[in-house]
Amino acid sequence: MKRLNSQLQDDGAPMELILLLRTLLAGCKEISFRVSQGALAGVLGSTLSENIQGETQKKLDVISNQILKDILSESGYVKAISSEEEDDVVGCNPNGNYLVSFDPLDGSSNTDINSLIGTIFSITHAPQWMEADDPSAFLQPASQIVAAGYVLYGPSTMLALTTGKGTHLYTLDKTHGGFLLTTANVKIPVQTSEYAINGSNQRHWETSTQQYIGDLLLGTNGPRERDFNMRWVAAMVGDIHRILCRGGVFLYPYDKRDPTKAGKLRLLYEANPMAFLIEQAGGLADTGTGRIMEVMPTEIHQRVAVVLGSKQEVEACLSYR
């Protein structure tokens, strides 16, 4: 099987980017080990603090964030990082050529039940005329991302990665510690009969989302004239991984609880990297009002509504608006 380095070279990634990805993934391998130890290492449960999002931090949130912050800061390749768990950007090397944004542990509420969790990341070029701790450097649309991916900590540790030359899946071979290519150039089926949405928020959805999901629930008796299955992992990495493997559509739509927030998911740390992966695999990624890849960020913790996955089903969802 082809090693990660070989595939990145075949895709034309510059050496410095390859070295940065290797550094980032070294941190993810350390997180994978900590996750696998679970209760044996005393890393489960919550802390007494909240992150900038107002969410109670899990112990593994804090540990994972620190691992990635330390390894990226020391690499020399990174000018600054932006994390879902940090209030502000963290300056690293003033001469670094890259910016890294990440959600250190997506789905961390699943840690205590030994379910799917993962790390999501994206990399962009660092504007050299800005200071390392200037948050406006990160206000770039996803179309400027040079590499994006996630590491899924499940029965096996898997990496989904794109540098703009297709989306590839790798599996961590724990016998030698490297990621090996297991699926090249993933192609998401254009049609699907699976959808993922947090149905407990139904009463807060806009009318268009209510009507769309209502028609899916009617199955063969409704206008869609076929049955749909709902799948919900409660970790975006798990739901997106399923879509990359066999198709589907994932929604975290705008709801009316807080009009000041466009959605629940963070643009820089979740929506942008996932949109890049999905589009590189032939799917679509939208906010409900426009392509995610074209959204111009206004601040580093900005939230957006999300609908992404199999092309025809995303289009069907958008047609209800």
CATH assignment at residue 237: 3.40.190.80
Residue 65 marked as a ligand binder? no
User: Quick one: pLDDT at residue 42?
Assistant: 74
Same-domain status, 179 and 200: no
AA identity, residue 30 = E
What residue numbers bound the domain in which 174 lies?
4-183
Cα angle for residues 281, 283, 285 (degrees, 5° grid): 120
User: Quick one: pLDDT at residue 259?
Assistant: 78
Q: What is the pTM of this model?
A: 0.95
User: Quick one: pLDDT at residue 248?
Assistant: 98
User: Quick one: pLDDT at residue 247?
Assistant: 98
Residue 105 marked as a ligand binder? yes
Same-domain status, 171 and 228: no
Give the list of residues 6+ apart from residue 79 with CB closer than 8 angstroms, or none: 91, 92, 93, 94, 95, 96, 97, 98, 99, 126, 132, 137
Same-domain status, 169 and 232: no
CA–CA separation, 29 vs 22, rounded Å? 10
Residue 103 marked as a ligand binder? yes
Residue 16 marked as a ligand binder? no
Same-domain status, 89 and 167: yes
In a domain, 134, yes or no: yes
In a domain, 257, yes or no: yes
In a domain, 178, yes or no: yes
Residue 106 marked as a ligand binder? yes
In a domain, 13, yes or no: yes
Same-domain status, 177 and 215: no
Residue 84 marked as a ligand binder? yes
Residue 133 marked as a ligand binder? no
**Consecutive 10-residue averages of pLDDT for the chain (321 residues):** 95 98 98 88 65 68 95 97 96 97 94 92 96 96 98 97 98 94 98 97 96 98 97 96 98 89 93 98 97 97 97 98 91
Same-domain status, 222 and 303: yes
CA–CA separation, 22 vs 5, rounded Å? 8
Q: Which of 163, 183, 203 is the last residue of a domain?
A: 183
Distances (CA, A) of 94 to 40, 133, 260: 39, 9, 34
Give the list of residues 6+ apart from residue 6 with CB closer than 8 angstroms, or none: 181
Residue 61 marked as a ligand binder? no
